[in-house]
Structure 1
Amino acid sequence: MKKYIAYNRLEITDLKNRLHDLELEQEKIYHTVEIDLTKHSKFGRYTYTAETDLCIMELLNCHVPVDRDDTVIKSVFSLCNLKAKDETLPKKDYVSSVNVRRLAISQAHIAETCIEENRTLYTDETRKNGQSYGVFITSNENQEPCLMGLKHMSSKASKTELETLKEILKEIEDRTQYLQNENPPSSAYNILKDISNTMSDREATEKSFQQLLQDYRTTLLKENIDNFYQNQTNY
């Protein structure tokens, strides 16, 4: 009899705990707020809001894979008693398109911020899967860094390093022209003319790169002066 009573007490306790969990779940469902992550689009049924795009960009900055963003958003919503309206969450294809726009925004940002005087250009090489990549970073007098780009390099030679930098600058310039829908002054020249120092962990390559960079800046200066006077003449 005692064992029977003890067993019933355990069973009652277990049922009470299950009932409590169900009440909490019911209360959570009752108080869950729906969040609409979308807005009407003239090109289709809907697209996602600017706030959703910003959230995606921040997740990408934290290295969340493009096919996992929706899962992360849903999990965070659950913690906050929220849920997406109609369970509509950004999927891989949309997140990938946001990632492309993120690059465009970062390039436009570089064109605007990397034109302060007395900047330092840092160059380095990193390897991944047996491939070499050039890393180019600039900083201002307050040592605030700005990543200009990271690009595959076929070799470690200083000429290759300069060509890689020129490719990055060309992408920034093309993006600036596209966003402004006009032909602004050369972004490459505006960025490079204020580089007063360069730094690298490879001394021999650094000396050669410094000279090549100086020659390239001189060429850009001449091109911009010639274009300026040509525009004045046409005007």
Structure 2
Amino acid sequence: MNLTDLRVASQKVGPVIKEVAELCGKIPNQLPSKTTVDAIVDRKLSVAQKQISQTLPNKECTTLYTDETRKYGKTMQRYIVTIENQTSYVIGLREMFNKSGKCTLDTFREFLHDISSLSERAEPDRNVGFQILKNIQNTMSDRAGTEKNFNRLLEEFRKEVLPQVVDNWDALTEDQQKPISAMNNFFCGLHLLVGMADVAEES
């Protein structure tokens, strides 16, 4: 797990262990295959999602960070949630078919479903993914139009979910529901500042 965290490819983990062991004067009896390493990485993801399912439903006023990046012709989207003390939890990282707001929301919904499915046996009457969504009151992203569209779609989806996870939602007045359903959207200004710095430097 630690080697894959250091970005060692699955098929290279065995050879790296062998080389390091030989440097220490040891010869390993057995080395993990690529398939074994991939299985361990899958378990690592399950353990991480289990931790998220036990921690985030109890943390109020959290912030969702979203960002996409392109590498080797692929578009990867990541979702990170932070709590009050700035501890971060990676909800997921996945290759996207496109970077539209709808695709971004659909992928996020899949992650919430995966997290909920881990808790269904322990808490069959509680949708943990929806509890996490209820607690997300802020978003942070870049200024791309697709991110702004995602924020709008996320807020609409969250409003649909709130009656299922907020006690006595229907008994609340509209004025009481409004602050619960409201979301704050923050946008990073770094790209803008970098652009201004490049122009200033050229000038």
TM-score by length of 1: 0.62
Alpha-carbon shift at residue 225 of structure 1 (Å)? 6.0
Residue of structure 2 in register with 1:60 after alignment: 4
Matched with 1:44 is none
What is the aligned residue count? 166
Q: CA deviation at 1:148?
A: 0.9
Residue deviations 1:31-69 (CA, integer Å, cap 9, x gap): xxxxxxxxxxxxxxxxxxxxxxxxxx1111111122222
- Give the 3 Å change call, closer, same or farther, for CA 72–196 of structure 1 in structure 2: same
The equivalences for 1:34-49 within 5 A come to: none
Q: Which has the higher contact order (CA 8 A, sep 6+)?
A: 2
For the structure 1 residues 83 and 143, does the alpha-carbon distance in structure 2 shift closer, same or farther, using more than 3 Å as the test?
A: same
Structure 1 range deviating more: 201-210 or 138-147: 201-210
Task: Summarize the alignment of residues 68-87 of structure 1 with structure 2, pairs less than 5 Å apart.
Answer: 68-84=12-28, 87=29
Name the structure 1 match of 2:140. Answer: 199
Deviations 1:8-49 (CA, angstroms, capped at 9, x unpaired): xxxxxxxxxxxxxxxxxxxxxxxxxxxxxxxxxxxxxxxxxx
Unpaired runs of 5+ in structure 2? 168-203
Contact preservation (8 Å) 2:115, 2:128 = yes
| Cα deviation code 1:157-186 (max 9, x no counterpart) | 322221121112112222333xx4662511
Inter-partner Cα distance in structure 1 for 2:123 and 2:67? 33
SS of the equivalent of 1:82 reads coil
Q: What per-residue deviation string (whole Å, max 9, x for no partner) do you get for residues 107-165 of structure 1?
A: 21222233312211011111133332221111112222221112233333322221121
Displacement of 1:212 in angstroms is 2.1
Q: Give the counterpart letter for 2:157 in structure 1.
A: Y
Offset at residue 223 of structure 1 (A): 3.1
Cα pair 1:133 1:151 within 8 Å, conserved: yes
Indicate the residue corresponding to 1:171 in structure 2: 114
2:164 is matched with which residue: 200, 223, 231? 223
What residue in structure 1 maps to residue 155 of structure 2? 214
Equivalence for 1:187: 128
Deviation at 1:82, TM superposition (A): 3.3
CA RMSD of aligned residues (A): 2.4
Q: Is the 1:173–1:187 contact (alpha carbons within 8 Å) kept by the matching residues of 2?
A: yes
